[in-house]
């Protein structure tokens, strides 16, 4: 349940930030009366995202044996790819998100019928919603799907409350810091997704294990225990992983951290060259 709650809270809060920034931009530009179009676009995107989530869950539930393992492995690795892209996007765009949204709103309000503004809200929220649908599907692999979705529902409710409290008060959220902190959480979660995806392919014989049971910590934390399932969904924990899983986990973290550091240094050097 905890992975679903954390994922939905994080993505839900980002959706709240996006909608809030769009509404704030409208108010700043003197078009607060068009707020309904933003809500319509955001609501339509949320509904479509829910349809995608139900479709992904239903597709996985119909599979068995080799097909199920293959579906789960591909879903886990695809979710890891999307998460990795998100991490780099947040590092690159976190500072200018509000300015970009305001620029999009400025261009969209020229359309008297509101189609442009609707699309700005729809596309921005749909991206987050489809990502969340994929992440929730991946988080449910190897754990209780029901508890994962219950946690997602609770996370969504908390995000809605937090978003309302944020914009109804004078509180200010440091968007850049928010992206940095959640980026660390997403990085660890993505490493776990990669390792779990590799495990699925090892299970069906598509990849070599290299070595079975590099260690065994089942006596301390069993995969079947409640805490073990949370650690498995959130961190990719397995009490007796293969060497292929360990290498993929550590290798992913090493490569992504190196690239993040390299791109960060390149960004800091850019103003100096200009």
Q: What does the CA dihedral 255, 257, 258, 263 come to, rounded to 10 degrees? A: 120
Q: Is the backbone of residue 221 left (phi > 0), alpha (psi -120 to 50) or beta?
A: beta
Q: Name the one residue in this structure whose structure tokens are 């305001």.
A: 102
**How high is the pLDDT of residue 270?**
58
Each residue's pLDDT expressed in tens, for the chain with a length of 274 residues: 666 777 787 778 778 877 887 787 788 778 788 888 889 999 999 899 889 888 887 877 777 788 888 888 998 999 899 888 877 877 666 555 656 666 766 776 666 556 778 888 898 888 888 888 888 888 777 666 677 778 778 888 888 887 777 666 645 666 567 667 777 878 888 899 999 999 999 999 999 999 988 999 999 998 888 788 778 777 888 899 999 999 999 999 999 999 888 877 776 665 554 4
Distance CA 18, CA 57 (A): 27
Backbone angles phi, psi at 95, to 5 degrees: -70, -30
Q: Of 55, 210, 25, which is closest to residue 129 (Cα–Cα)?
A: 55
Distance CA 61, CA 41 (A): 31
Please check whether residue 158 is in contact with residue 6, taking contact to mean a CB–CB distance below 8 angstroms.
no
**How high is the pLDDT of residue 273?**
45
Q: Of 110, 100, 145, 96, which is closest to residue 31 (Cα–Cα)?
A: 110
Q: Name the one residue in this structure whose structure tokens are 């955001």.
A: 42
Distance CA 4, CA 12 (A): 11
pTM: 0.77
């Amino acid at each position: 349940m905890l992975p679903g709650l954390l994922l939905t809270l994080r993505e839900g809060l980002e959706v709240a930030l996006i909608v809030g920034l769009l509404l704030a931009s409208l108010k700043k530009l003197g078009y607060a009366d068009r707020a309904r179009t933003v809500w319509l676009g955001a609501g339509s995107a949320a509904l479509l995202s829910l349809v995608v989530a139900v479709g992904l869950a239903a597709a996985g539930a119909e599979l068995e044996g080799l097909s199920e393992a293959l579906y789960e492995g591909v879903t886990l690795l695809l979710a890891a790819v999307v998460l990795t892209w998100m991490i780099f996007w947040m590092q690159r765009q976190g500072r200018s998100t509000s300015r970009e949204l305001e620029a999009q709103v400025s261009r969209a309000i020229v359309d008297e019928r509101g189609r442009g503004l609707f699309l700005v809200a729809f596309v921005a929220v749909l991206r987050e919603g489809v990502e969340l649908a994929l992440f929730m599907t991946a988080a449910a692999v190897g754990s209780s799907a029901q508890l994962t979705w219950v946690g997602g529902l609770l996370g969504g409710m908390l995000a809605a409350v937090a978003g309302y409290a944020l914009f109804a008060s004078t509180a200010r959220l440091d968007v850049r810091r928010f992206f940095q902190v959640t980026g660390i959480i997403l990085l660890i979660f993505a490493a776990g997704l990669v390792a779990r995806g590799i495990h699925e392919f090892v299970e069906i014989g598509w990849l070599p294990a290299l070595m079975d049971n590099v260690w065994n910590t089942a006596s301390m934390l069993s995969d079947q225990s409640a805490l073990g399932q949370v650690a498995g969904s959130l961190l990719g924990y397995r009490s007796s992983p293969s060497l292929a899983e360990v290498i993929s986990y550590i290798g992913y973290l090493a490569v992504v951290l190196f690239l993040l550091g390299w791109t960060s240094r390149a960004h800091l050097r850019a103003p100096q060259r200009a």
